[in-house]
């Protein structure tokens, strides 16, 4: 059995063995989900990009007065890959012996930062194939095998996360969705992971560290962040193989009340440890990234949220000079900007929810639109209908390359 599975199962079952069923709360859901491409099928080979029946079971156990555990598994049939899968989504023990600190160890979903689907200082893994295929938003966040220690000195909150086992982003890789590969100059749909990237080994030197220091000052939440680890997207190399290069990230954020709403801002410095001079065209350059957002309730059960995001590539001249001529047409911009909009409306005693989320990049001239309608039929039964729409002027930019994946999805879930 792999080290990471032993680590998770030992922590979880060791804790549950000390507790009785009377101290355990069970929950879960049964869900059917389908997604079908509606754009051109020039490169998309399958008639659907999402087809599954999923059972999720969760057990929350009070172990002692100062500890508890959570165990969550997903068992599902993936019709796209024609596989049955059993997946441990969460399995951890929380220990809180005093008011000064608490510890959570095991497989857990980690997240922080202020952006709405824009991640600057949140360096924890994401599943973009799930997100763009039509799965529930829960599955955008990928769990990590980690230890999280939280300290509470006076009016501060200090979170330290130690991740000894590397988990990458699940990017669009040709397994389920089509993407444009700059190396081959063509669109890719293979039905399997095209990158097959070499992951960092589990060692002390490769252990990822993340820290957040947070304080509330007169209603304003201020946070500082730090991260030492790897880029979570696969990186090409000269020999055609893919791997994960090293990075450090330092940043800060603010959330507070403004103009009868909630405003936020976030900034981050991304230090590309393997290419600090920016002269290796195969490795991501260092970046400065900035985000500002505002959210306000504009009427009864109607909320509007807007965001502006800017990323500035450092050592840009070195990047352009080192770029092979065959890649020059795909060169990234020195400054790339993007706007985001979220509209949310609740109706019929909050049983019906209309939601629209969009990205638009004036720099790349491309974007993404996600309309979604959900209805709660009863305490347990709910349905969702939506679309993932990709568009753009140039076939190789972030969203435009996904145009062939534009899809409509439907989910029906019974929770218990």
Closest-CA residue to 24 (of 12, 32, 6, 8):
12
CA distance 234 to 169: 8
Section 83-102 average pLDDT: 97
Under the banding of pLDDT at 50, 70 and 90, the label for residue 1 is very low
Predicted confidence at residue 18, as pLDDT, reads 53
Lowest mean pLDDT among 38-52, 134-148, 231-245, 261-275: 38-52
Phi, psi of 178 (to 5 degrees): -85, 145
- Residue corresponding to tokens 């000052």: 217
Higher pLDDT, 240 or 137: 137
Which helix or strand (DSSP H or E) is residue 147 part of?
Answer: strand 144-151
CA distance 188 to 96: 48
pLDDT at 16 over 60: no
**Neighbour tally for 17: CB within 10 Å:** 8
Predicted confidence at residue 262, as pLDDT, reads 99
Section 388-394 average pLDDT: 98
Under the banding of pLDDT at 50, 70 and 90, the label for residue 29 is very high
pLDDT at 19 over 70: no
SS3 10: helix
- Evaluated on CA atoms 361, 362, 366, 371, the torsion sign reads positive
Section 237-244 average pLDDT: 90
Per cent of the chain over pLDDT 90 is 88
Q: 144 forms bridges with which residues in the sheet?
A: 108
Section 61-79 average pLDDT: 97
pLDDT at 45 over 80: no
SS3 140: helix
Predicted confidence at residue 221, as pLDDT, reads 98
Closest-CA residue to 413 (of 103, 27, 30, 1):
30
pLDDT at 110 over 70: yes
Q: Using one digit for the tens of pLDDT, what is the confidence trace for 289-306? A: 999 999 999 999 999 999
Q: Using one digit for the tens of pLDDT, what is the confidence trace for 321-349? A: 999 988 899 999 999 999 999 999 999 99
| Number of domains comprising the chain | 1
Section 379-404 average pLDDT: 97
Residue pair 85/139 in contact (Cβ under 8 Å)? The answer is no
Section 95-112 average pLDDT: 97
Owning domain of residue 39: 3-415
CA distance 328 to 4: 41
Predicted confidence at residue 88, as pLDDT, reads 98
The two beta strands, 235-236 and 101-108, are: unpaired
pLDDT at 201 over 50: yes
Per cent of the chain over pLDDT 70 is 94
The mean predicted confidence, pLDDT, of the chain is 94
pLDDT at 8 over 70: no
pLDDT at 6 over 80: no
Lowest mean pLDDT among 175-189, 240-254, 375-389: 175-189
Our measurement of the distance from residue 114's CA atom to the centroid of its chain's CA atoms, rounded to an integer in Å, reads 13
Predicted confidence at residue 39, as pLDDT, reads 78
Residue pair 9/91 in contact (Cβ under 8 Å)? The answer is yes
Predicted confidence at residue 21, as pLDDT, reads 74
Predicted confidence at residue 17, as pLDDT, reads 54
CATH number for the domain harbouring residue 280: 2.40.160.10
Burial-class residue 120 by CB neighbours within 10 Å (0-12, 13-18, 19+): buried
């Amino acid at each position: 059995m792999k080290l990471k599975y032993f680590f998770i199962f030992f922590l979880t079952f060791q804790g549950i063995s000390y507790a009785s069923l009377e101290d355990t709360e069970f929950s879960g859901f049964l869900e059917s989900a389908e997604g079908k491409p509606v754009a051109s099928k020039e490169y998309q080979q399958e008639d659907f990009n999402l087809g599954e029946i999923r059972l999720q079971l969760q057990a929350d156990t009070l172990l002692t007065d100062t500890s508890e555990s959570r165990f969550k598994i997903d068992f599902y049939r993936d019709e796209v890959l024609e596989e049955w899968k059993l997946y441990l989504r969460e399995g951890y023990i929380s220990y809180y012996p005093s008011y000064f600190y608490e510890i959570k160890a095991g497989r857990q979903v980690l997240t922080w930062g202020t952006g709405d689907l824009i991640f600057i200082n949140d360096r924890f893994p994401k599943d973009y194939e799930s997100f763009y295929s039509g799965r529930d938003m829960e599955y955008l966040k990928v769990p990590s095998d980690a230890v999280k220690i939280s300290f509470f000195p006076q009016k501060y909150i200090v979170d330290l996360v130690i991740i000894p086992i590397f988990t990458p982003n699940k990017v669009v890789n040709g397994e389920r969705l089509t993407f444009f590969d700059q190396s081959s100059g063509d669109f890719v749909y293979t039905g399997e992971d095209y990158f097959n990237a070499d992951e960092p080994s589990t060692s002390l030197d490769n252990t990822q560290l993340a820290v957040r220091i947070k304080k509330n000052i007169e209603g304003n939440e201020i946070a500082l962040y730090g991260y030492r680890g790897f880029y979570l997207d696969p990186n090409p190399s000269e020999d055609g193989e893919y791997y994960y290069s090293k990075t450090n990230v330092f940043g800060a954020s603010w959330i507070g009340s403004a103009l009868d709403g909630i405003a936020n801002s976030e900034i981050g410095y991304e230090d590309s440890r393997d290419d600090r001079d920016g002269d290796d065209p195969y490795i991501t350059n260092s970046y400065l990234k900035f985000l500002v957002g505002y959210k306000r309730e504009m009427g009864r059960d109607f909320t509007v949220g807007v965001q502006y995001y800017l990323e500035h590539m450092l050592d840009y001249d070195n990047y352009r000079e080192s770029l092979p001529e065959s890649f020059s047409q795909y060169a990234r911009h020195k400054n790339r900007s993007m706007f985001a909009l979220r509209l949310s409306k609740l109706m019929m005693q909050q049983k019906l929810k209309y939601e629209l989320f969009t990205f638009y990049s004036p720099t790349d001239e491309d974007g993404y639109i996600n309309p979604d309608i959900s209805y709660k039929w009863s305490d347990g039964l709910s349905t969702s209908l939506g679309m993932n729409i990709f568009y753009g002027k140039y076939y190789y930019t972030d969203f435009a390359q996904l145009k062939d994946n534009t899809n409509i999805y439907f989910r029906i879930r019974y929770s218990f």
